[in-house]
Every structure is written in structure tokens, then in C-alpha cells.
Amino acid sequence: MRFTSIAEFLAMGGYAEYVWSAYGVTFAVMIVMTLLALVKSSRTLHKLKFEYDLKVKRQVKP
């Protein structure tokens, strides 16, 4: 399929709303998944640091 202009490309042969909404949903899901992964990894690192500090405190006690 060849497009002769940018407008024709953006119209996607009459299917633009379906094509671009699919791209939009995909992009939004990828952003949300990335943010959730960052939040979860941050929580995991905080939890590990807390457990490590707790273990160190227990070992220091006489």
C-alpha cells in the first residue's frame, strides 16, 4: 500500500480511528506497565534494605 501524501497516510485508507486508537492503547499500556515495574522494583529494594538493616541490628545485639 503506497501513500501519496501525509494526509492519506494519516487517514490509513479510512481505518485511521481503529489504527491510531490501537497504537494509542498499546502505547498507554506500555507506559503503565513500565511505571508499575518501576514502583514494584522500588518497593522491593526498600523491603530488602529494611530486612538487611534488621538483620544487621540483630547481629550487633550482645
Rounded Cα distance, 2 and 20, in Å: 18
- For residue 33, being part of any structural domain is answered with yes
The reported pLDDT for the residue numbered 60 is: 74
User: 23: domain range?
Assistant: 6-60
- For residue 54, being part of any structural domain is answered with yes
- For residue 26, being part of any structural domain is answered with yes
The 10s digit of each residue's pLDDT in 33-60 is 999 999 999 999 999 999 999 998 888 7
Give the chain's domain count. 1
- For residue 1, being part of any structural domain is answered with no
- For residue 52, being part of any structural domain is answered with yes
Do 19 and 12 touch, CB atoms closer than 8 A? yes
Rounded Cα distance, 60 and 3, in Å: 72
Which residue is associated with the grid cell 500500500? Answer: 1
What phi-psi label fits residue 13: left (phi over 0), alpha (psi between -120 and 50 degrees) or beta?
Answer: left
The reported pLDDT for the residue numbered 61 is: 65
Q: Model-level pTM?
A: 0.70
